[in-house]
Chains A and B, each alone.
Chain A
């Protein structure tokens, strides 16, 4: 999904691919292009930052979910990359706005049965300037 950084809360660049025939980017990577059906795909890493297209605040825990509500789901258009959906972290979900810049980071999701920390990518507000 991404190269594990030295520690959590550091920026991460998502690994996906791009169709050589039509240019469409995908995350996660696909074997065949969803837009034009070409199988000529090129692995790539996407920008670690983008803009919030839309968001919502989830206030009831869904089945199988490990994150306690309330938490925000953000749909982020990565710079020159695909749109991805993830959880917003290190912020007050009530203060998010459409159009806000965000940074993708590695963040703890849970600890599994063996005590290992499971991390995934999340979005946090981009630093000003």
Chain B
């Protein structure tokens, strides 16, 4: 397979934009990514679009805003992991020589309130069992019983993420919160309080990728290489309740991370900066363990001791993560790629890790239906 590079990335700010259409959001993100990459839209050969709640053909209706060049526009849905799935498919098509340039887009417009997982009226829905925060809460309660962890340690994830979001002009929330404020916010499902739940969000993100051998013709003077990837749909483990909880299953994260590390020729100790799927604050704790960045059972204390801060040795969610940057479900994965691009190119400004010398970036993006891992090198 050919080497593939990311040449540019861009966002429409995440937040609530009731007066803007999907086209408005997507057009701005795509323009920002194209400008960042130096690749004109007429040179884009294929677009892969991650989106969940928008109707039929939404991908084309957004991408064609930039021009009707007749390229294939492929809609991809994997819930909250949709646009890392789109990224992977775009990467594989370029790596395999089908196309030289590809555009990855993610967008979403969401209602306020708790996400309804399924429109089918199942006994789980009627009995109030299909509750997204509860999936994380059940695992967090067990984690606290098995390890020396407290609710404050999970709450600290939100404090850290909001501190990073305050440094990100594209974040939905750009305001610090204190540990007391997080702990005192309304309890949703013990031990998860409101400020430990990712918000619903409108937003869009886009990324331009190119075969490395074709990249020199474009003006972008910097790039990052796609070094590894893995994807899976929740391998059955005998402790499962049969409902396939891939999103919070750390065994599944480890299985896939090891595949991605092997493809990239690295280990977890080589990772300089990480994006994880913190839909609810315990997600960061479980995932840094699953990825092997810390030992099993050591995640909560690592967060508490500041190791996942921008200034820490394993910085996580430097852009504010899902909790503070926001979580427009179809756009989240492409926004994760955007932040890793800023970090590995030394363009992250006040959020920059390791004095601009970050060489390896890691992404974990999960959705109902699976987990995507991506590894990038400068």
Question: What is A's interface to B at a CB cutoff of 8 Å?
Answer: 1, 24, 26-28, 30, 34-35, 53-67, 69, 71, 73, 75, 82-87, 98, 109-110, 118, 120
For chain B, residues 164 to 204, give those with C-beta under 8 angstroms from any C-beta of chain A.
186-190, 192
Closest to B237 in A: A35
Chain B 110-148 interface mask (CB, 8 Å, partner A; 1/0): 000110100001011111111100100111111001000
Contact of A85 among B141, B186, B243 (CB under 8 A): B243
- Given A54-B141, A98-B141, are A27 and B242 also a contact pair (CB < 8 Å)? yes
Using known A-B contacts A57-B190, A63-B116, A73-B138, determine if residue A24 contacts B128 with beta carbons closer than 8 Å: no
Decide: A62 near B138, CB < 8 A? Known: A56-B190, A83-B241: no
25 chain-A/chain-B pairs, Cβ below 8 angstroms: A26-B242, A35-B236, A55-B138, A56-B137, A56-B141, A56-B189, A56-B192, A57-B187, A57-B190, A58-B128, A59-B190, A62-B131, A63-B116, A64-B130, A65-B127, A66-B127, A73-B134, A75-B138, A75-B241, A83-B241, A85-B124, A86-B127, A109-B126, A110-B126, A118-B126
A59 touches B126 (CB 8 A): no
Q: Is B240 an interface residue (CB 8 A)?
A: yes
Name which residue of chain A comes closest to B123, CB basis.
Answer: A120
Nearest B-chain residue to A62, judged by Cβ: B131
Which A residues touch B139, using CB under 8 A?
A: 54
Q: How far is the CA of A87 from the CA of B142 in the complex (A)?
A: 17
**Interface size of B by Cβ–Cβ distance < 8 Å?**
35
Which chain A positions have C-beta within 8 A of B187?
A: 57, 59
> Which residues on B sit within 8 Å (CB–CB) of A66?
126-128
Known contacts A73-B131, A83-B240, A87-B127; 14 further A-B pairs (Cβ under 8 A)? A28-B242, A58-B128, A58-B189, A59-B187, A60-B189, A62-B128, A62-B131, A64-B126, A65-B126, A67-B128, A75-B241, A85-B243, A87-B129, A120-B127
Question: Would B188 and A64 count as touching, CB distance under 8 A?
Answer: no
B189 engages A87 (CB within 8 Å): no
Q: In whole angstroms, how far apart are the Cα atoms of A107 and B236 in the complex?
A: 30
Contact assessment for A84 and B127 in the assembled complex, using a CB-CB cutoff below 8 Å = no
CB within 8 Å of A: which residues of B? Answer: 113-114, 116, 121, 123-131, 134, 137-142, 145, 186-190, 192, 236, 238-244
Question: Are B128 and A59 in contact, CB atoms less than 8 angstroms apart?
Answer: no
**Which 6 residue pairs spanning A and B have beta carbons closest together?**
A65-B128, A56-B137, A54-B142, A34-B236, A63-B116, A64-B125
In whole angstroms, how far apart are the Cα atoms of A81 and B136 in the complex?
23
- Least distance between A32 CB and chain B CB atoms (Å): 11
**Hey, which chain B residues are within 8 Å of A58, CB to CB?**
128, 131, 134, 188-189
Contact B130 A82 (CB under 8 A): no
B residues within 8 A CB of A1? Answer: 123
Report chain B residues within 8 Å CB of A83: 239-242
Given the known interface contacts A27-B242, A35-B238, A58-B134, the answer about A73 and B129 at a Cβ–Cβ threshold of 8 Å is yes
Chain B residues near A67 (CB, 8 Å)? 127-128
Min CB distance, A94 to chain B, in Å? 9
Cβ–Cβ < 8 Å partners of B131 in chain A: 58, 62, 65, 73
Residues of A near B241 (CB, < 8 A) are: 75, 82-85
Chain B, Cβ-Cβ closest to A69: B128
Q: Do B188 and A98 touch (CB < 8 A)?
A: no
Q: What residues on B are CB-neighbors of A54 within 8 Å?
A: 138-139, 141-142, 145
Residues of A within 8 A of B142 (CB): 53-54, 98
